[in-house]
Amino acid sequence: MPTGRFVEVVRFPVENVSPEAQVNVREVPAYLREALDGAGADLDDVDLMAAEIVTNAVRHTASGRPGGQVWAAVIATDEQVRVEVIDQSEARSEPWIPPYPVLSGRGLLIVQELAARWDWSRDRNGYTTVWFQVPRTGGAAGWPR
């Protein structure tokens, strides 16, 4: 990735939203819509992919437990916006795309189809980053403000 010209990391701490989901899934897509307003990226795609990834963090990792949290990062160049969601995955589970005809497991398939690129990584402390990139298609002069 070329040198980032805009980088922002935001932490989403626990909020008592629902008994099983301590992290409010919609907070991250809402933040991204605001942060990327005018960036020339397809914000509907960004919203959908971010919602799937945060839902995974809440459903499949310790981020969804009391005290859990996720972090969202935006890294943009002139050509691309990269969104990273960092969660508290444990080593026993990894993001993967179940093969057809398995009936569940469509979230990351959606990410694979909509993103220019996506992948995940895990650091030695057990934090997992799931990221995707989308192109900036124009009308983006003056962003970030």
Residue numbers at the binding site for ligand ATP (CB under 6 A) = 52, 56-57, 59-61, 87, 89, 93-97, 104-109, 128, 130
| Out of 50, 88, 107, 118, the residue judged to bind Mg ion by CB under 5 A | 107
Amino acid residing at 52: E
In the chain, the largest separation of any two C-alpha atoms, in whole Å, equals 46
Nearer to ligand ATP, 40 or 95 (CB): 95
**What is the C-alpha separation between 10 and 90, in angstroms, rounded?**
22
Sequence-distant (6+) residues with CB within 8 A of 69 are: 11, 12, 13, 14, 23, 63, 88
Shortest Cβ 95–Mg ion spacing (Å): 9
Shortest Cβ 110–Mg ion spacing (Å): 9
Q: Which two tokens stand for residue 81?
A: 């916006």
Shortest Cβ 109–Mg ion spacing (Å): 9
- Asked if residues 93 and 61 have their Cβ atoms less than 8 Å apart, the reply is yes
Query: Cα dihedral sign for 46, 134, 132, 85?
Result: negative
| Out of 22, 50, 51, 56, the residue judged to bind Mg ion by CB under 5 A | 56
Binding segment for Mg ion (CB under 5 A), chosen from 26-34, 54-62, 119-127, 131-139, is 54-62
| Residue 3 binding result from ligand ATP, Mg ion, none, given CB thresholds of 5 to 8 Å by partner type | none
Per CB under 5 A, residues contacting Mg ion are 56, 107
